[in-house]
């Protein structure tokens, strides 16, 4: 089976942001803590966290009580925000990527399908807030999201 897949960078970035959303908003978490709690390689996570800092989703604090925390409320951060911070705009196919484009576009009969898939994917990603995922098991969220998207 072939999968349309979210990259490991995005998966790890989402895990880190969701983990931070469950912490005291005034508490900084070390990179080691986040990596250990989420089962993510520390060095890889460091690079991902830097992307999230640059995009204003996470902030860092230096010093003995230093570490990382969310820069915004979990209610104000969407799945899409995290994905875009790490990998840029979402495109489900090359023809929908502004920079790549496709020479088949003028005669393509599939572009309408790809456009609708993209619209729905982005809709789910933007409507899913990090706060929605802090404590609810994933299987409950997936079932309700998929049935409402149909």
pLDDT, residue 125, reads 94
pTM over 0.75: yes
pLDDT, residue 133, reads 87
Assess contact for 58 and 70: CB atoms under 8 A. Answer: yes
pLDDT, residue 3, reads 59
Question: 3-state DSSP: the chain helix, strand, coil percent, rounded to 5?
Answer: 55, 5, 35
pLDDT, residue 147, reads 53
The correct answer on CATH 3.30.43.10 for the domain covering 8-140 is: no
Q: pLDDT tens for residues 88-143?
A: 888 877 777 666 667 776 777 888 888 899 899 999 999 999 999 876 555 555 55
Ranges of each domain in the chain = 8-140
Q: pLDDT tens for residues 35-50?
A: 999 999 999 999 999 9
């Amino acid at each position: 089976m072939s999968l349309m897949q979210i990259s490991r960078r995005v998966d790890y970035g989402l895990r880190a942001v969701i983990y931070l959303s469950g912490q005291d908003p005034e508490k900084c978490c070390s990179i080691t803590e986040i990596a250990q709690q989420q089962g993510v390689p520390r060095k890889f996570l460091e690079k991902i966290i830097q992307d999230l800092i640059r995009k204003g989703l996470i902030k860092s604090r230096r010093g003995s009580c230093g570490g990382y925390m969310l820069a915004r409320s979990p209610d104000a951060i969407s799945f899409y925000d995290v994905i875009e911070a790490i990998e840029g705009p979402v495109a489900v196919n090359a023809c929908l990527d502004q920079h790549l484009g496709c020479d088949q576009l003028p005669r393509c009969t599939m572009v309408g399908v790809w456009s609708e898939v993209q619209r729905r994917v982005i809709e789910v990603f933007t409507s899913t807030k990090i706060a929605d995922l802090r404590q609810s098991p994933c299987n409950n969220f997936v079932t309700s999201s998929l049935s409402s998207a149909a």
